[in-house]
Amino acid sequence: MPRTLIAGNWKMNGLIANLAEVERVSAAVSPSSEGPELLLCLPATLIAAASSRSDGSHLKIGGETCHPKEKGAHTGDISAEMLKDAGASYVIVGHSERRADCGETDQIVASQAAAALRAGLTPIICVGETLSQRDAGDVLDVISTQMAGSIPENAAAGAIVVAYEPVWAIGTGRVASSEQIAEVHRLVRDLLVKRFGDAGRGTRILYGGSMNPGNAAEILGVDEVNGGLIGGASLKADDFLAIYRLAAQ
């Protein structure tokens, strides 16, 4: 069984004052904890400070995207090497908000994930269908295409994480049913095993979309769910820790 990963995604939320929540999370878990891995992916402006404030704790810090290149004339962008330098160990790539807001294609996502691997970060590669794709019965095709296009060629099964985030469940309070989650996670696992052989059984597959302390136990109990990628409920230390504790049971 892959080790469970409970990951937060603060998105474009958080000022220096909110680092108090990061400190509360890192102080609440024992440094030697052997339970689930715990991660907060933060806006780039907070990564260095959050890393130093959680140094030596069980909490890891990640970024929310990265540029494919290591450096150069790309005003406003941040490279995977810069995230690593600031103390990150993970980075989210291909979140549906970036696919929609910034036109990030599967090919771009794959190059971002490759950049993460180059820099020594673990990419969390996001896939997920829109509501109209689900209504059209295209879920499995959409996920298969995203999986084929978004995982870089040089990836090893243990070096990446996949997150299934149905777009219609993000920030809507509308959570996917256990059956819907199980169907897609099974498909993702099959695709990983096809690609990586037996090693594909070790890749973590996270669920994301309106996860909260009230529904986390059920979601985390679904077959092939190896953790969560949590937006809104990761902004408050109490809620995020409640989900972590459910995962640790």
Nearer to ligand 13P, 39 or 170 (CB): 170
- Which residues inside 173-212 make contact with ligand 13P, applying CB under 6 A? 208-211
Neighbours of 145 (CB within 10 A): 13
Query: Rounded distance, CA 228 to CA 232, Å?
Result: 12
One of 120, 171, 214, 221 touching ligand 13P (CB under 6 A): 171
Cβ contact 121:91 at 8 Å: yes
For residue 94, the 8-state DSSP code is S
The catalytically annotated residue of 81, 95, 129, 185 is 95
One of 53, 95, 98, 189 touching ligand 13P (CB under 6 A): 95
Nearer to ligand 13P, 190 or 218 (CB): 218
Strands, E assignment, 74-158:
90-93, 122-127
67 part of the active site: no
One of 170, 216, 222, 247 touching ligand 13P (CB under 6 A): 170
Q: Is residue 62 at the binding interface for ligand 13P, with CB under 6 A as the rule?
A: no
Residue closest to ligand 13P (Cβ): 231
- Which residues inside 229-248 make contact with ligand 13P, applying CB under 6 A? 229-233
179 part of the active site: no
Q: At what angle do helices 139-150 and 178-196 cross, to 10 degrees?
A: 40
User: Cα angle at 110 between 104 and 111, to 5 degrees?
Assistant: 85
Query: Rounded distance, CA 109 to CA 115, Å?
Result: 10
**Site residues (CB under 6 A) for ligand 13P?**
9, 95, 165, 170-171, 208-211, 229-233
